[in-house]
A = this chain, B = another copy of it.
Amino acid sequence: MKNINIKDLARELNLSVSTISKAFHDSHEISEDTKNRVLETARRLNYVPNPYASSLRGRRSKNIGVVIPEVADSFFSLAINGIESVAKEKGYHVLICLTHESFENEKNILKEFQGGRVDGVIMSVSTETSESGHILDLMANGLPLVFFDRVCEEIETAKITTDDFESGYKATEHLIQQGCDKIGFLGISKCLSISNRRFEGYQKALNDHVVAYDTKHTVSCTNDAAHNAALIKELLQRKDHPNGIVATVEKLTTPVYLACAELGLSIPGDLKFICFSNLETASILNPSLSTITQPAFEMGQMAATLLFKSLEKTSFSLSMESQVIPSSFIKRNSTD
């Protein structure tokens, strides 16, 4: 019933606790014979060491924190898989904390992390995050941090991003080449670097190809799905509505499709649509969806790899290690 601990084991084997502990860590001080006896008895008694006790003395938790806005999103869930794959290899656990796009939540989570709950942090900031004091506090406490996707540009540390500017450019250019001359942009949060970079790419493409830029065709979406749907519908029912749209996040796909259906607009006839998305169902939508697809798994993997490098040797400077992994443009029927 009750969990057995290292003392019980010591009593059972007539050894000291220190010997047991050393045997588990394969110390050279302990004879092979004793090690085997210890391991065997541990298995027999089903001994599992208490990770918190180890953390306490060892001053590391063997946990990394992953702070993300949301888990019900293909990009983030794939990124988690990437992070988890390397954490597992290193014998670490992953503590996933969701901000639900709330700055308040984000602050609280990072604050808690300063108590020693995790040894390092991988994060993608919330849409509400416009200042970075809470992040600097965390780092001042000696915790290494790696950003992925949604970064704080002003903070000096590793940032794993994709080529947001180029992708925004490419998506927009594609719409132009497909004949669009009124191109809308659905962003999220003006604070968010990725949204801004993609927007800059969008603007540059319009500029380079001498297509008019209309402020009214830029919509800043929020975390409120109903509100976004209303904004999108409002955009599309104007009589000079865009005939092409670039959307920056996966969750905007459904509202755009539904608004078109409701308003009797055909995709791609009346509106060509391309979205930043990792949705597996992109290829079977009606019509299939042209996407900019981010290397989600790889980004997670890379972020974790860098974080562990910095955990393994403190001399390793994260600030020199940012990486940009390109996204892929996948043409499908929504931009025919």
User: Which A positions have Cβ atoms within 8 angstroms of B?
Assistant: 1-3, 46, 48-53, 55-56, 61, 71-74, 77-78, 80-81, 84, 93-98, 111-112, 114-117, 137, 140-142, 251, 253-254, 257-258, 261, 279-281, 283-288
Which single member of B1, B3, B50, B115 contacts A3 (CB below 8 Å)? B115
Known: A56-B56, A81-B71, A142-B3. A51 touches B286 (CB 8 A): no
Check if A49 sits within 8 Å of B115, measured CB to CB: yes
Task: Give, as a whole number of angstroms, the nearest-CB distance from A242 to chain B.
Answer: 19
Task: Give, as a whole number of angstroms, the nearest-CB distance from A106 to chain B.
Answer: 14
Q: How far is the CA of A170 from the CA of B55 in the complex (A)?
A: 52
Task: Give, as a whole number of angstroms, the nearest-CB distance from A86 to chain B.
Answer: 13
Q: List chain B residues, Cβ under 8 A from A46.
A: 114, 137
Q: How far is the CA of A204 from the CA of B94 in the complex (A)?
A: 43
Contacts A3-B114, A284-B286 known; 18 new A-B pairs at CB < 8 A = A1-B141, A2-B142, A48-B111, A48-B115, A48-B116, A49-B115, A51-B116, A51-B117, A52-B61, A71-B77, A72-B74, A81-B98, A93-B95, A95-B95, A253-B281, A253-B284, A254-B284, A281-B285
Which single member of B56, B74, B281, B286 contacts A50 (CB below 8 Å)? B56
Q: List chain B residues, Cβ under 8 A from A81.
A: 71-72, 98
Nearest B residue to A81 via CB reads B72
Known: A72-B74, A96-B94. A48 touches B112 (CB 8 A): yes
Which single member of B3, B52, B78 contacts A55 (CB below 8 Å)? B52
Q: List chain B residues, Cβ under 8 A from A93.
A: 95, 97, 117
Q: List chain B residues, Cβ under 8 A from A279.
A: 281
Provide a sorted-by-A list of 11 A–B residue pairs whose CB atoms are within 8 angstroms: A3-B141, A52-B55, A71-B81, A72-B78, A73-B77, A84-B98, A253-B284, A254-B283, A254-B284, A258-B283, A286-B287
Q: How far is the CA of A48 from the CA of B283 in the complex (A)?
A: 48
Q: How far is the CA of A49 from the CA of B111 in the complex (A)?
A: 10
Known: A56-B53, A115-B51, A284-B286. A80 touches B84 (CB 8 A): no
Task: Give, as a whole number of angstroms, the nearest-CB distance from A39 to chain B.
Answer: 15
Task: Give, as a whole number of angstroms, the nearest-CB distance from A59 to chain B.
Answer: 9
Q: List chain B residues, Cβ under 8 A from A50.
A: 56, 115-116
Q: List chain B residues, Cβ under 8 A from A280.
A: 251, 254
Task: Give, as a whole number of angstroms, the nearest-CB distance from A321 to chain B.
Answer: 22
Check if B117 sits within 8 Å of A52, measured CB to CB: yes
Q: How far is the CA of A198 from the CA of B80 in the complex (A)?
A: 30
Q: How far is the CA of A73 from the CA of B73 in the complex (A)?
A: 9
Check if A285 sits within 8 Å of B283, measured CB to CB: no
Q: How far is the CA of A93 from the CA of B96 in the complex (A)?
A: 9
Q: How far is the CA of A114 from the CA of B93 in the complex (A)?
A: 15
Q: How far is the CA of A218 from the CA of B317 in the complex (A)?
A: 56
Q: List chain B residues, Cβ under 8 A from A283.
A: 254, 258
Q: List chain B residues, Cβ under 8 A from A257.
A: 284
Q: How far is the CA of A141 from the CA of B1 in the complex (A)?
A: 5
Nearest B residue to A100 via CB reads B81
Q: How far is the CA of A77 from the CA of B61 in the complex (A)?
A: 26
Task: Give, as a whole number of angstroms, the nearest-CB distance from A256 to chain B.
Answer: 9
Nearest B residue to A112 via CB reads B48
